[in-house]
Structure 1
């Protein structure tokens, strides 16, 4: 059995007038993330980690922000397509370990729904999707509530 590890990172700016999508679910918040798609930083970081683990470039290569078909797209669709892309090389997801950095909204209560949603999209068990949330203690762009970032490590196997 071949085992590979990947790392992903994404960040998006918080702005008024957009829905906030994180981990495949919509959260109530006065701001949302700015991007070509729904700007779900967690899903984007997962896609990058999976593609990197399979040595298949990155999310921007497969889903460019210059392509009209990805304008305002639900990032769960990108994740499902990423699973199909890595499967062309015989890979499947072993597990995901993710950290979301956001000052607000508080995410603890939403993590189980994120785990269930992402596990369903990837066709894996919820126990294989670890999501943690942290703040930056009011430091930097996250602390000033200018944006949200996500860091993800994945394990894939053949």
Structure 2
């Protein structure tokens, strides 16, 4: 194998959060953006399912843990933290562990917010946070399950990373 050929590593991340009650005063953050919808997602940080799934996909691909391990709910430093901040931190950890990020692809599963009108804005925000291309698509579940009943939102992400050219070539 050529020393210039890097074998990619793939990681998957999933995140799900319940919506708070309308009028709760909790803002809705999805894909690094604040939305005008009433009643945000419940969680220790901003509960941004798209950013959180992206974090887990990156951490999984690099083999360095998961969101709960790195940003545990018992750690007050991350209380209310933005998903974009968490994603930026995860990307830094991935690079510090000898990997470069190829890309992240995420699918939002939710009835709200209406994602398509802000897709490009969201992708730009998340790409800036990760320092690599992040694409986001959205779907509904046609009334089925917790997302279909608008009880919550979910996201599934896939990330590709590869060893940096100057990183040691151990497996892990």
**Bin of the TM-score, shorter chain as denominator length:** over 0.9
Structure 1, unpaired ranges of 5+: none
Instruction: Compare the two structures and name the one with the higher strand fraction.
Output: 1
Which structure 2 residues correspond to residues 68-87 of structure 1 after superposition, within 5 A? 68-87=76-95
Larger Rg: 2
Check if 1:7 corresponds to 2:12. Answer: yes
Tell me how large the CA RMSD over aligned residues is: 1.0
CA offsets 1:65-114 (integer angstroms, 9 cap, x no match): 11111111112111111111111221121011110001122110111111
Q: Deviations over 1:3-45 (max 9, x none)?
A: 1000000000001321110111101101200000001011110
Equivalents in 1 of 2:54, 2:40: separation in Å?
19
Aligned counterparts of 1:78 and 1:105: Cα–Cα separation in 2 = 21
Q: How far apart are the structure 1 equivalents of 2:136 and 2:87?
A: 16
TM-score, normalized by length of structure 1? 0.94
Cα distance in 1 for partners of 2:52, 2:83 equals 7
Secondary structure in 2 aligned to 1:145?
A: coil
The list of structure 1 runs, each at least 4 consecutive aligned residues, that deviate by more than 2 angstroms after superposition, is: none
- Decide which of 19, 36, 55 is 2:63's aligned counterpart: 55
- Structure 2 SS opposite 1:72: coil
Which residue is 2:170 aligned to? none
- Which residue does 1:131 correspond to in 2? 136
CA distance in structure 1 between the aligned counterparts of 2:113 and 2:159, rounded to whole angstroms: 25
CA distance in 2, matches of 1:46, 1:34: 18
3-state SS in 2 of match to 1:31: coil
SS in 2 for 1:15: coil
| 1:66 paired residue among 65, 68, 74 | 74
For 1:143, the equivalent position in structure 2 comes to: 148
2:40 pairs, out of 32, 36, 46, with 32
1:101-112 alignment runs, 5 A limit? 101-112=109-120
